[in-house]
């Protein structure tokens, strides 16, 4: 591990000032410490933000409001999460081991780095780790990689399960910068790789994620997450789907679907959603709608199977959501 | 304990006994430091640099208070093993995937390898060495023996610490639940049926 300095801050203003002097925020550190040990990440200065008062979890109106430093385990177990947004709890429990969930923060979960093996392999080309060195996955081992949103420079999937749920649920986030705050949809946090795969998010230098807000609605209770993976627990998604349905009078009034494991960012499936509105929530309708999910896919040599697995995962997630009483 | 203490040849009898661990540590440290700028040399280098870096750490481990000067690169795992000689907490993968380093940090199970010790000043830590009451095993330790919850034993300390967390969190209600909530602990010997049975039994004992 490259030597670094560690500064503990007590206020958001102090944190942002420290970040302005080249500091890198650390909360749970479960991704960052690992990547620093591999020397994939080489911050010279860490800013320990764990003392900041942004650990709250509460209901505001029908919204679920989550401080960025709340831990995954706390948010998943919180009665307001389970009451208002069970989908959030489900993605968090599926998202990491219990030990990691006790440490990892919500803000850090959204900013975690990709799990492409070449990203961690210092002697392999990786445009995300070292721009201009090429992508070892596109012509190499790419069975786990993305089929949507790829470029010729990167095909790494975004690993967060929580982000898939937040995007399906139209969550927003509030960030604090030097002398200002701004809020925007979580959907706008994530970039596509394009020609700049090393730029993964839209935060400006020094900005700090303060809070996530998940709006409620009639879809929120009938919502499930299906995570297909190589083993049944504690593994990243091969393909995953978050599905939320509002059914009234035997007809789908609203549908929210987003997927993980298939895109270079968490992927909202708006065409699938549109195809469900006004239909009876049955398997035939789910299958017909799910076919829309693969529009525009670009499979690589090793991940053609995801083109078939993606719609099947969506259908099963919709069935699971439909079974919620 | 032949595997713990080296034989002392007569000519060297004047020197104090050297444990296997100290020999391995000294040898590995010297080789790694000579060969690599970072990586394997990290913990040894960080231990050496501890006093110079001057981060002061006060922690309570198994009820004993410690005050140490540490390098910010040191994980709690490295501090436990290399500064406090508590080697029951194992370094398996050192990347948060295997669970062999599981401890209770302020009452919650965590991977000690992925924690920077300098970020946990004032912490209360329980390691596997602190689970038994003197010679009396904790019910979960006794259950691991009763159900053959291990073969080689390398993961066992982490399994037991994680099992304690699993029971305390209320997620040991059924074999399926135990399997899901123990998924952060890998056993390459495949002692999982015994581990699950041991946790189920201890859960009943603790709750009755």
Q: For A273-319, what is each residue's pLDDT tens digit?
A: 999 999 999 999 999 999 999 999 999 999 999 999 999 999 999 99
Look at residue A303 and tell me if it is in a domain: yes
How far is the C-alpha of A67 from the C-alpha of B1, rounded, in Å? 52
CB of B74 within 8 Å of any CB in chain A?
Answer: no
Q: What's the Cα-to-Cα distance from A69 to each of A87, A93, A296, A312, rounded to whole Å?
A: 19, 17, 37, 35
Look at residue A312 and tell me if it is in a domain: yes
Strand pairing class (B55-61; B124-126): parallel
> Is residue A155 within 8 Å of residue A135, measured between CB atoms?
yes
Mean pLDDT of A12-38: 96
Q: How confident is the model at residue B5, as a pLDDT?
A: 35
Q: How confident is the model at residue B53, as a pLDDT?
A: 56
The tokens of A248 are what?
């009234």
- Shortest CB distance from B109 goes to which of A3, A29, A99? A99
How far is the C-alpha of B58 from the C-alpha of A74, rounded, in Å? 26
- Shortest CB distance from B72 goes to which of A5, A98, A234? A5
Please list every residue in chain A whose beta carbon sits closer than 8 Å to the beta carbon of residue B42: 1, 37
* Helix count and strand count (H, E) for chain B: 7, 5
In CATH, what number is assigned to the domain containing residue A273?
Answer: 3.30.390.50
More confident: A157 or B47:
A157
Domain boundary among A35, A50, A65: A50
Mean pLDDT by runs of 10 across the 208 residues of chain B is 37 46 48 43 49 79 97 97 98 97 98 98 98 96 98 98 98 97 97 98 92
- Shortest CB distance from A100 goes to which of B71, B72, B184? B184
Q: How confident is the model at residue B42, as a pLDDT?
A: 53
What angle, 0 to 180 degrees and rounded to 10, lies between the N-to-C axes of helices A161-168 and A86-94? 160
Look at residue A270 and tell me if it is in a domain: yes
Q: How confident is the model at residue B207, as a pLDDT?
A: 86
Question: Among candidates A211, A289, A298, A295, which has minimal Cα distance to A256?
Answer: A289
Locus of tokens 């879809």: A219
Locus of tokens 């469900």: A276
**Overall number of domains in chain A:** 2
Q: Which residues of A305-321 are buried (b: 16+ CB within 10 A; e: fewer)?
A: ebeebbbbbbbbbbbbb
Look at residue A123 and tell me if it is in a domain: no
Q: What's the Cα-to-Cα distance from A225 to each of A89, A274, A308, B126, B159, rounded to whole Å?
A: 10, 19, 18, 35, 28
Look at residue A282 and tell me if it is in a domain: yes
Residues 34-73 of B with CB under 8 A from A: 38-39, 42, 46, 49, 55, 71-73
For residue A115, the 8-state DSSP code is: -
Q: What structural domains does chain B harbor?
A: 17-130 (3.10.20.30), 139-207 (1.10.150.120)
Helix (H, G, I), strand (E, B) or coil at B25: helix
Look at residue A194 and tell me if it is in a domain: no
In CATH, what number is assigned to the domain containing residue A46?
Answer: 3.30.43.10
Please list every residue in chain B whose beta carbon sits closer than 8 Å to the beta carbon of residue A120: none
How confident is residue A234, by pLDDT bands cut at 50, 70 and 90? confident
pLDDT in tens, A97-131: 999 999 999 999 999 999 999 999 999 999 999 99
Dihedral over Cα of A41, A43, A44, A46: its sign: negative
Locus of tokens 């922690």: B59
pLDDT in tens, A37-56: 999 999 999 999 999 999 99
For residue B83, the 8-state DSSP code is: I
pLDDT in tens, A214-223: 999 999 999 9
Strand pairing class (A239-248; A251-260): antiparallel
Look at residue A31 and tell me if it is in a domain: yes
Mutate to test the interface with A, among B73, B78, B97, B107 (most CBs of A within 10 A): B73
More confident: A237 or B18:
A237
How far is the C-alpha of B72 from the C-alpha of A274, rounded, in Å? 52
The tokens of B195 are what?
């581990």
Dihedral over Cα of A296, A301, A305, A309: its sign: negative
- Give residue A229's domain range: 223-323
> Is residue A258 within 8 Å of residue A167, measured between CB atoms?
yes
Contact A4 B115 (CB under 8 A): no
Q: How confident is the model at residue A203, as a pLDDT?
A: 97
How far is the C-alpha of A32 from the C-alpha of A25, rounded, in Å? 10
pLDDT in tens, A258-275: 999 999 999 999 999 999
Q: How confident is the model at residue B38, as a pLDDT?
A: 42
**ipTM given for this complex:** 0.95
Q: How confident is the model at residue B87, as a pLDDT?
A: 98
Look at residue A82 and tell me if it is in a domain: no
Helix (H, G, I), strand (E, B) or coil at B16: coil
Helix (H, G, I), strand (E, B) or coil at A266: coil
Q: How confident is the model at residue B43, as a pLDDT?
A: 55
Lowest mean pLDDT of A76-90, A210-224, A237-251, B34-48, name the range: B34-48
Q: How confident is the model at residue B52, as a pLDDT?
A: 46
> Is residue B195 within 8 Å of residue B187, measured between CB atoms?
yes
């Amino acid at each position: 591990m490259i030597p670094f300095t560690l500064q503990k801050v007590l206020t958001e203003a102090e944190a942002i000032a420290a970040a302005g002097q080249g500091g890198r925020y650390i909360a749970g550190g479960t991704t960052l410490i690992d990547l620093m040990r591999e020397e994939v990440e080489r911050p010279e200065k860490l800013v320990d933000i764990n003392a900041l008062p942004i650990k709250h979890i509460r209901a505001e109106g029908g919204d679920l409001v989550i401080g960025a430093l709340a831990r995954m385990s706390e948010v998943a177990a919180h009665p307001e999460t389970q009451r208002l947004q069970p989908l959030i709890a489900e993605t968090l429990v599926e998202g990491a081991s219990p030990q990691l969930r006790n440490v990892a923060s919500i803000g850090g979960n959204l900013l975690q780095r990709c799990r492409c093996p070449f990203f961690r392999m210092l002697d392999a080309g990786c445009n995300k780790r070292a721009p201009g060195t090429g992508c070892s996955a596109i012509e190499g081992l790419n069975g786990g990689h993305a089929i949507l949103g790829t470029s010729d420079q990167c095909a790494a999937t975004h690993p967060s399960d929580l982000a898939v749920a937040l995007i399906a649920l139209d969550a927003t986030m509030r960030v604090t910068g030097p002398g200002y705050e701004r809020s925007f949809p979580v959907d706008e946090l994530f970039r596509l790789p394009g020609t700049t795969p090393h730029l993964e998010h839209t935060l400006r230098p020094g900005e700090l994620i303060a809070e996530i807000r998940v709006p409620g609605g009639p879809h929120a209770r009938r919502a499930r997450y299906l995570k297909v993976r190589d083993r049944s627990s504690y593994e990243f998604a091969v393909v995953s789907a978050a599905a939320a349905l509002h059914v009234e009078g035997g007809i789908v009034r609203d549908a929210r679907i987003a997927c993980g494991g298939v895109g270079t960012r968490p992927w909202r499936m708006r065409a699938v959603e549109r195809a469900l509105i006004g239909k009876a929530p049955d398997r035939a309708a789910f299958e017909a709608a799910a076919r829309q999910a693969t529009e525009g896919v670009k499979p690589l040599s090793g991940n053609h199977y995801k083109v078939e697995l993606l719609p099947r995962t969506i259908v099963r997630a919709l069935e699971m959501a439909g079974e919620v009483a | 304990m032949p595997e713990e203490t080296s034989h002392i040849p007569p000519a060297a009898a004047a020197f104090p006994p050297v444990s296997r661990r100290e020999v391995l540590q000294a040898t590995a440290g010297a080789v790694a430091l000579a060969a690599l700028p970072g990586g394997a040399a990290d913990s040894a280098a960080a231990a050496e640099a501890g006093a110079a870096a001057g981060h002061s750490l006060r922690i309570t481990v198994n009820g004993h208070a410690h005050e140490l000067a540490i390098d910010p690169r040191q994980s709690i795992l490295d501090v436990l093993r290399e500064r406090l000689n508590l080697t029951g907490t194992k370094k398996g993968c050192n990347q948060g995937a295997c669970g062999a380093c599981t401890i209770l940090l302020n009452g919650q199970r965590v991977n000690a390898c992925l924690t920077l010790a300098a970020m946990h000043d004032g912490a209360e830590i329980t390691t596997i060495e602190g689970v038994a009451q003197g010679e009396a095993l904790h019910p979960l330790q006794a259950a691991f023996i009763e159900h053959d919850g291990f073969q080689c034993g390398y993961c066992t300390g982490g399994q037991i610490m994680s099992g304690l967390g699993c029971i305390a969190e209320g997620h040991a209600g059924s074999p399926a639940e135990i399997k899901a909530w123990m998924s952060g602990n890998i056993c390459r010997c495949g002692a999982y049926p015994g581990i699950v049975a041991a946790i189920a039994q201890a859960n009943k004992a603790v709750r009755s």
